[in-house]
Amino acid sequence: MPSVASGRVIDLSVNDPLKAGRAAAVVELFRSMPERYLGATPGFRATYQFRLGDLGRTWEVRLTESEVRVREGAAGTPDATIGTDSQTWLDLVAGRTSGLDGFFARRLWARGDLDLALAFEGLFRRPDGSAPALRVHRVGPARRDISALTIGNGPDVVLLHGLGSSKVSFFDTAAALSRDYRVHALDLPGFGSSAKPAAARYDARYFAGAVAAYLDAEGVGSAHVVGNSMGGRVAIELALTRPERVRTVGLLCPAVAFVRRQLHPFVRLARPELAALPHRLRRDVVERYFRRMFADPDALDPQLAEIAVDDFQRIYRSPRARHAFLAAGRNLYLEPPFGRRGFYPRLAGLQAPALFVWGSRDPLIPAALSRHVAEWLPGADQIILDGCGHVPQVERPTQTIGLLRRLFTEVDALHGSAPEARRFRRDARRATAA
Quick one: 105 and 218 in the same domain? no
Q: How confident is the model at residue 304 (pLDDT cuts 50, 70, 90)?
A: confident
Residues 424, 245: Cα–Cα separation, whole Å: 20
Q: Is 392 helix (H, G, I), strand (E, B) or coil?
A: helix
Quick one: 108 and 218 in the same domain? no
Domain boundary among 97, 123, 149: 123
Per residue in 164-187, pLDDT (tens digit) is: 999 999 999 999 999 999 999 999
The verdict on residue 394 lying in a domain is yes
Q: How confident is the model at residue 76 (pLDDT cuts 50, 70, 90)?
A: confident
- Report CA-CA distances (Å) from 64 to 37, 39, 47, 129: 10, 8, 9, 21
**Percentage of the chain lying above the pLDDT 90 cut:** 67
H or E element, residue 240: helix 230-241
Q: Is 55 helix (H, G, I), strand (E, B) or coil?
A: coil
Per residue in 360-379, pLDDT (tens digit) is: 999 999 999 999 999 999 99
* Pairwise pLDDT comparison (336 vs 425), residue with the higher score: 336
Q: What's the pLDDT at 125?
A: 92
The verdict on residue 305 lying in a domain is yes
Residues 417, 28: Cα–Cα separation, whole Å: 51
- Domain with 89 in it: what CATH number? 3.30.1050.10
Q: What's the pLDDT at 170?
A: 96
Tell whether the model's pLDDT for residue 267 goes beyond 60. no
The verdict on residue 6 lying in a domain is no
Quick one: 350 and 405 in the same domain? yes
Q: How confident is the model at residue 152 (pLDDT cuts 50, 70, 90)?
A: very high
Residues 90, 424: Cα–Cα separation, whole Å: 46
Q: What is the average pLDDT across 62-72?
A: 95
The verdict on residue 93 lying in a domain is yes
Tell whether the model's pLDDT for residue 9 goes beyond 80. no
Quick one: 52 and 159 in the same domain? no
Quick one: 256 and 158 in the same domain? yes
Quick one: 117 and 145 in the same domain? no
Q: Is 412 helix (H, G, I), strand (E, B) or coil?
A: helix
Q: What's the pLDDT at 1?
A: 37
The verdict on residue 4 lying in a domain is no
Quick one: 52 and 143 in the same domain? no
The verdict on residue 2 lying in a domain is no
Q: What's the pLDDT at 405?
A: 97
Q: What is the average pLDDT across 336-350?
A: 95
Quick one: 40 and 168 in the same domain? no
Average pLDDT, the chain: 88
DSSP for 300-317, written as a single string: S-HHHHHHHHHHHHHHHT
Q: What's the pLDDT at 143?
A: 77
**Percentage of the chain lying above the pLDDT 70 cut:** 87
- Report CA-CA distances (Å) from 96 to 50, 101, 118, 206, 211: 19, 10, 16, 39, 31
Q: What's the pLDDT at 317?
A: 86
* Pairwise pLDDT comparison (190 vs 414), residue with the higher score: 190
- Domain with 232 in it: what CATH number? 3.40.50.1820
Q: What is the average pLDDT across 78-102?
A: 93
Q: Which ranges of 38-149 does DSSP label H, i.e. alpha helix?
A: 86-94, 99-104, 114-119
Quick one: 84 and 196 in the same domain? no
Q: How confident is the model at residue 302 (pLDDT cuts 50, 70, 90)?
A: confident
- H/E/C letters for each residue in 315-359? HHCCHHHHHHHHHHHHHHHHCCCCCCCCHHHHHCCCCCCEEEEEE
Quick one: 64 and 147 in the same domain? no
Quick one: 252 and 372 in the same domain? yes
The verdict on residue 176 lying in a domain is yes
Residues 257, 242: Cα–Cα separation, whole Å: 20
Quick one: 212 and 279 in the same domain? yes
Q: Is 170 exposed, middle or buried (0-12, 13-18, 19+ CB in 10 A)?
A: buried
Range with lowest mean pLDDT among 29-33, 408-412, 421-425? 421-425
Number of independent structural domains in the chain: 2
Q: How confident is the model at residue 262 (pLDDT cuts 50, 70, 90)?
A: low
Residues paired with residue 226 on neighbouring β-strands, in sequence order: 159, 250
Q: Which long-range contacts (CB under 8 A, 24 or more apart) does 28-34 make?
A: 29/89, 29/90, 29/93, 29/127, 30/59, 30/61, 30/70, 31/4, 31/6, 31/70, 32/127, 33/2, 33/4, 33/61, 33/68, 33/70, 33/124, 34/1, 34/2, 34/3, 34/4, 34/67, 34/68, 34/70
Q: What's the pLDDT at 306?
A: 85
Domain boundary among 123, 153, 170: 123
Q: What's the pLDDT at 10?
A: 41
Residue span of the structural domain in which 254 resides? 134-433
Residues paired with residue 46 on neighbouring β-strands, in sequence order: 63
Q: What's the pLDDT at 18?
A: 77
Domain boundary among 123, 151, 181: 123
The verdict on residue 129 lying in a domain is no
Q: What is the average pLDDT across 186-214?
A: 96
